Chain A
Amino acid sequence: MTDAELFDVESRNAGPYFGQFGGRFVPEALIAALDEIEDAFAKALKNPSYTEELRRLHREYTGRPSLLSEAPRFAQAAGGARIFLKREDLNHTGSHKINNVLGQALLAKHMGKTRLIAETGAGQHGVATATAAALLDLECTVYMGAEDTRRQALNVARMRLLGAEVIGVESGSRTLKDAINEAFRDWVASVGRTHYVFGTVAGPHPFPGLVRELQRIIGVEAREQFLAQLGRLPDAVVACVGGGSNAIGMFHAFIPDADVRLIGCEAAGEGVDTPRHAASITRGTPGMLHGARSLMLQDEDGQTIESHSISAGLDYPGVGPEHAWLHTSGRGEYRPVTDAQAMEAFRLLCRTEGIIPAIESSHALAGALDLSRELGPDAVIGVCLSGRGDKDVDTAARWFGLLDGQEGGDR
């Protein structure tokens, strides 16, 4: 991979539309700001002072390229296909989120902005944004649903340690979708000096294309690593999908490789036949949420339905428009994975490979186990291990009954 290829956005569709999905369903007040970002990003990608600095931060700050590690003991548990993990969990701040955030924070500097705002669900994107703000000397405000600040108190403390202001959002369902609404409200009122670091490949154009371009490095590296380490491409790449940024990052470089299946694992919560899930592709319908037309969970009137997942990072009732398009066009396959399936894969990876994965990523691991059973021992599967599970230890300990005083144990 050369930097020229990595940053050659003009050779790819970066929006506004991905088939029938995408666009800009936002107040006019934001149009000038969205145009400014689109314009600034296109210029930055042609400006070596931006691209070289971003590549330097990838190497020297994040620790890229991330490893592609085989997980043979994990793979033995099901079907015997060879399973390789793209180790985004080893990035600084613990997930793929830093790839996007560094790119956007540097862009904010190039635009002359002095303040970053972000929404966060589990806190990973908020922590990454607070980190980049500290590194680049920018002010930072993070919006987080009040329900999530309670569930993820440790990440709130991390953001504050890094110097960010964290605002708990009390409106609506008090979760990620309401944090996004509140961040947009802040942005409309402060757009002159503020850049909104959108955390995923959803939202109004140019965010879906822009965030994809910044996450695309995951799959670009993985593709090269497969060729270098195995001399072949994988049969499938698998990633979890909430908004879908790690998944599109993993998938995108493989889209032209027609023999490589792209498999997205959605959070099925307690099951897609119950009301408690977050499977916006499997069970969603077309509509506009947070500025884009995509697939989403909504009632007959178009009111957003609250999602559920054990994983806060996948607990979102929408999905990025490019995923909706990959699904509709048939290039991508999207499968639901329940809380219980994800937690079983979580435990298996802990015990077989000594890696504690994020619960989000455990959905992809569960999907890979199923796929391994389907494809058999000759297959090669790449899984995006999008984050590490340190933040999830409390949730997992409760799930498995490992805390003192808990009944049951070893669920």
Chain B
Amino acid sequence: MSGTHSTAEVFTRVRQEGRAAFIGYLPVGYPDVATSIEAARALVRGGADIVEVGMPYSDPGMDGGIIQHAGTTALAEGVRTRDLFPMVEAVADAGARAVVMSYWNIVYQYGVERFARDLAAAGGSGLITPDLIPDEAAEWEAASDAYGLDRIYLVAPSSTPERLAYTAEHSRGFVYAASTMGVTGARAEVDQAAAQLVADTRAAGAQNVCVGLGVSTPAQAAEVAGYADGVIVGSALVRALGEGGVEAVEELAGALAAGVRGKATA
């Protein structure tokens, strides 16, 4: 069952276009709430099919230096959980699908049912949960069913075939394949394990598998687009925003969007 805004529709469409989806991550509140919303709109203008709206967290165990720094800055500026929803709405209004990416305690404290309700009301498609595995997710499974939201869990190169099948079965929209055993951050090379992980996750029953962690250049995006349903870029966009502002986000997004269409030049 998918909600009316499920990201699954995006994958149907891009498949018809013979390409992969481009998914860009930006945290709310960096460098401030208003600019982060502008940056999200720029990301959509540049060609993002799905925007991951990140919630800064005091203890981001899965994030590398660039996203940690952005989160620390946003928290120091006073960003609140409720600031997510206007950013989600801006992405939906701009014509892309919005999913939130948040560590679980943030959602838990907001109230799982209330979070699902407010996310759906803002036009959001679902939630990526980097530190919530399906084994612990009974409350979220119920709330996401009630509001027709995508449940985007992660799989990793260390996941056993049993866990891949279990995670695929509980996912909706797409499965987030963490390409490498490590944290977020731009890398020179996307791990070779990523292609195998995508193949294994599909074999375990997943419809749509997107690859994140380490993708930063249009050439890498093109390479990953060759085997995955979607390409997720985070740290490189956050760095672009920090160094060159909203315009730099739009420019990099444009190059990455060309990349997933196999038009990367570099």
Contacts and interface: CB of A to CB of B under 8 A. Distances in A.
Report if A and B associate in a common complex: yes
Interface of A: 23-33, 171-172, 177-178, 181, 184-185, 188-191, 287-291, 298, 300-304
16 contacts: A25-B131, A28-B133, A28-B178, A29-B157, A31-B163, A32-B156, A32-B159, A171-B65, A181-B61, A189-B182, A287-B105, A291-B131, A298-B105, A303-B58, A304-B58, A304-B59
Interface residues of B, number: 41
Nearest to A27: B62
Nearest to B132: A25
B158 A191 contact: yes
A303 B60 contact: no
Interface of B: 57-62, 64-65, 68, 72, 75, 80-81, 103-106, 108-110, 130-133, 135-136, 153-160, 163, 167, 178, 180-183
B105 A28 contact: no
A288 B108 contact: yes
B135 A24 contact: yes
Contact of A303 (B75, B130, B156, B159): B75
A53 B91 CA distance: 60
Given A33-B158, A172-B59, 14 more contacts: A25-B136, A27-B61, A28-B133, A28-B154, A29-B158, A31-B158, A31-B159, A32-B163, A181-B60, A287-B109, A291-B131, A301-B109, A302-B105, A303-B57
B155 A288 contact: no
Question: A-B pairs with the 10 shortest C-beta distances?
Answer: A302-B109, A29-B156, A189-B182, A32-B158, A302-B105, A304-B58, A288-B105, A303-B58, A302-B106, A28-B154
A26 B163 contact: no
The residue in A24, A25, A27, A188 that gathers the most chain B C-beta atoms within 10 A of its C-beta is: A27
A287 B105 CA distance: 6
A172 B72 contact: yes
A185 B108 contact: no
A24 B137 CA distance: 11
A22 to B, nearest CB: 10
A409 B136 CA distance: 54
A23 B132 CA distance: 10
A300 B114 CA distance: 14
A29 B63 CA distance: 13
Contacts of A171: 65, 68, 72
Contact of B181 (A24, A25, A189, A301): A189
Nearest to B56: A303
Contact of A31 (B75, B80, B104, B133): B133
Given A33-B158, A189-B182, A304-B59, A28 B163 contact: yes
A28 B167 contact: yes
A283 to B, nearest CB: 16
A20 B72 CA distance: 31
A172 B109 CA distance: 21
Contacts of A300: 109
